[in-house]
A and B are shown apart, each in its own frame.
Chain A
């Protein structure tokens, strides 16, 4: 069974994003970039399924600038077998990403795609569902457990109010939620080995997908700042303030 894992290079989750003074976007100059945390979880899951003997090949794919090669090397160091960079300096919207992934899937014919539920830059939570709709493959989003067997995947999903179990026929799209697993740190020997694993580069423009954005950014602003709060000395003070000053009790 072959698994394709789309991974995105994004701002590191520990870094606080800063809005550019000219309101055109987020300042990413000299900011630490990493693999999107949900994509890390997806890679980890694919590698664990391989270690269990269910999966035979894990292919990581990223759509992004030349630096996204580092993200792919991280996936290789975690245990992916090979990697594909669909290179573009545009930052394609989820719909365009889904179409590019559809083109990659036509060439790679994976049995299952495991990807993140959300990229923590745009916070769209859309690409997996779009890809599933475009391909006519079933989807199981927000997975907290995945069991792969011949021809189907049984997925436990995190939903509002609890959990839902579904079966999807393969090939299928699965998106990873936080509880699915805890990604490993790549060991030094594996980081060295990853340098020798194959990483193919294709120009996004060569895939015949319209990358033009449908949404134009009018401006990016800082959210309103909260007014400075105060420290109270005791629980009684707190209750008093909540009652008389804040009026919320």
Chain B
């Protein structure tokens, strides 16, 4: 059985999600290749070749692949699947965009967001906002899988796979890239960060969100997250959203400030190692999952927390 892993990258750097997906792939097979589809992405392919356990790296480059257009990525991968029994893609917004297309073209089910590999055809995946775990067995010949990267450890370095340049495929046809605006941030990436500080509706404004959440995140070297309510109200950008329909995070420490703990929010953070909640309502559902709860107004509690951190040498 040979498995193809589709790399997560931004044409410049390889993302940790790729290493984690390789771990899931190695649970299926020893023959794991990585595909880097992009443009100007040779450096990404070289980085992928260093992941331990990888057999070969395929590099395909074109404008539409670099723009991540789903039709182009799918048209590249479907013919490659003649050589593979499974394709694993990190369940990022990009992976979710093209992976189901591959499944449809191969006439197989997609197995979405797996968190565990039981055997070559049996997988565990969360359903109903993570309120249940479903173990499914696939009867399809080829497996098309997206991987919830936070559920797997990152494969290490030490490999020295060859990089093979392949054709870019036919492109996207009826979809045209117009523009994109990506937020540049010096902070660690939300899904890979060791500590995440998230703010909720309680912040009341974008200014307040920045005034309260950002310095605490700076102090802890943390990524910043938000509840949907905070995103909806414009306090935080959309890609900060943690939850069932936002990003799934599982850091060592998750600090929820002024977040009530709706089912949909918990779905995105309840696998964090340690959860801290600061909320003035002692009955807020967030306290049911919090390891350490502080019932307090954040306006007083966050400055005190900053001071206590300083006092503790953080």
Contacts and interface: CB of A to CB of B under 8 A. Distances in A.
Contacts of B137: 215-216, 218
* Most chain A beta carbons < 10 A, residue from B103, B137, B301: B103
Interface of B: 10, 67-71, 74, 92-94, 96-105, 107-113, 122, 126-140, 172-183, 195, 220, 228, 231-232, 237-239, 244-245, 247, 252-253, 263-264, 270, 273-276, 282, 287, 289-296, 301, 304-305, 307-309, 311-312, 314
Contact of A123 (B112, B276, B293): B112
Interface in A201-249: 213-223, 226-227, 229-232, 234-236, 238-243, 246, 248-249
B239 A95 contact: no
* Most chain A beta carbons < 10 A, residue from B132, B287, B293: B132
Contact of A124 (B112, B175, B264): B112
Given A214-B109, A231-B287, A17 B128 contact: yes
Contacts of B174: 137-138, 168-169, 172
A188 interface: no
A121 B128 contact: yes
B233 to A, nearest CB: 11
22 contacts: A26-B128, A95-B108, A95-B109, A123-B112, A124-B112, A139-B101, A159-B180, A167-B175, A167-B176, A179-B238, A214-B139, A215-B139, A216-B139, A217-B136, A220-B135, A222-B133, A229-B292, A236-B311, A240-B312, A242-B274, A242-B276, A246-B274
Interface string A121-144: 111111111111110011111101
A189 B308 CA distance: 58
Nearest to B185: A161
Contacts of A45: none
Nearest to A168: B175
B109 A93 contact: yes
A2 to B, nearest CB: 19
A215 B70 contact: no
Nearest to A165: B178
A248 B197 CA distance: 13
Contacts of A53: none
A83 to B, nearest CB: 25
Interface of A: 11, 13, 16-19, 26, 38, 93-95, 98, 117-118, 120-134, 137-142, 144, 154, 158-169, 172, 177-179, 213-223, 226-227, 229-232, 234-236, 238-243, 246, 248-249
A242 B182 contact: no
Contacts of A235: 294, 296, 301, 304-305, 307-308
A213 B111 CA distance: 12
B100 A126 contact: yes
Contacts of A154: 178
A234 to B, nearest CB: 7
Contact of A129 (B68, B98, B109, B252): B98
Contacts, number: 269
A220 B134 contact: yes
Given A139-B101, A159-B93, 7 more contacts: A129-B98, A130-B100, A162-B182, A218-B137, A220-B133, A235-B304, A241-B292
Of all A-B residue pairs in the complex, the 10 with the closest CB atoms, nearest first, are A235-B304, A17-B128, A126-B100, A129-B100, A130-B104, A138-B174, A214-B109, A133-B101, A162-B182, A165-B178
B307 A121 contact: no
A140 B104 contact: no
A138 B173 contact: yes
B132 A129 contact: no
Contacts of B309: 239, 249
B314 A249 contact: yes
* Most chain B beta carbons < 10 A, residue from A19, A130, A160, A236: A160
A220 B128 CA distance: 11
Nearest to A141: B97
Contacts of A215: 109, 111, 136-139
* Most chain A beta carbons < 10 A, residue from B128, B195, B296: B128
Given A95-B107, A249-B312, A133 B100 contact: yes
A226 B270 contact: yes
Contacts of B253: 242, 246, 248-249
A163 B231 CA distance: 14
B291 A239 contact: no
B180 A229 contact: no
B110 A94 contact: yes
B176 A223 contact: no
B301 A141 contact: no
A17 B175 contact: no
Given A13-B264, A158-B93, A218-B137, A232 B238 contact: no
